[in-house]
Amino acid sequence: MTDFNEMTNALVSCDEAKLIDLVNAALAQDTPAGDILNNGLIAGMDVVGEKMENGDMFIPEVLMAAKTMGSCVEILKPMLGDDESGTGASVLIGTVKGDLHDIGKNLVAMMMESSGMEVHNVGVDIAPEDFITQIKEKNARIVCLSALLTTTMPMMKQTVDAIVEAGLRDRVKIMVGGTPVTQAFADEIGADGFAADAGSASKLAKALVN
């Protein structure tokens, strides 16, 4: 009988060696790879996200937990069907034009990936028309816009307007985030949601697609 709680605890405490042992042991007991992914690893990253939101875990630990999870996902990948390895919705994430900040955005991307979503991180300084192209190419259901400067926040509105003009607004949920961004600003520019940190962003993304 596989103890998924033990896996979750090993992941939260970033004990990579122990987690790898637990994953291999579970596979040896014929536990389906999809169950290990969902009930052990993704469940663990959900706890990490909550701890980050509550201030019980900080960015270096979250990065370590994500790396720990990544090495176990590599073990599981060959045994996961295509439908399982990319179970989540397609997410497009990028920093808006004129802004070159990416640490926060990359952390959000990693947390979303860890929660089973198919994440396309398109980088920094992304113009509205490039977001449009990528939404179509990646068939995105969620678009995450990041801005770390008050001077680049208006570019978020321009990007949202461009998505509306391109006739794609009904197809995607738009999330915004970054140090100066607030819920009020998100409402003002017509976004679907705002997240203050990577843990809550991951949770919000799941809520928006479900």
What pTM value is reported for the model?
0.80
Whether 16 and 67 share a structural domain? yes
Dig out the tokens for 172 from the structure.
Answer: 């995607």
What are 128-159's pLDDT values in tens digits?
999 999 999 999 999 999 999 999 999 999 99
142-164 b/e (C-beta count within 10 Å ≥ 16 → b): bbbbbbbbeebbebbbebbebbe
Give residue 59's pLDDT band: very low, low, confident or very high (50, 70, 90).
confident
Average pLDDT over residues 89-110: 93
Whether 75 and 94 share a structural domain? no
Average pLDDT over residues 162-177: 98
Give residue 26's pLDDT band: very low, low, confident or very high (50, 70, 90).
very high
CATH number, residue 21: 1.10.1240.10
Domain boundary among 84, 110, 139: 84
* Structural domain for 26, as ranges: 4-84
Q: How many domains does the chain have?
A: 2
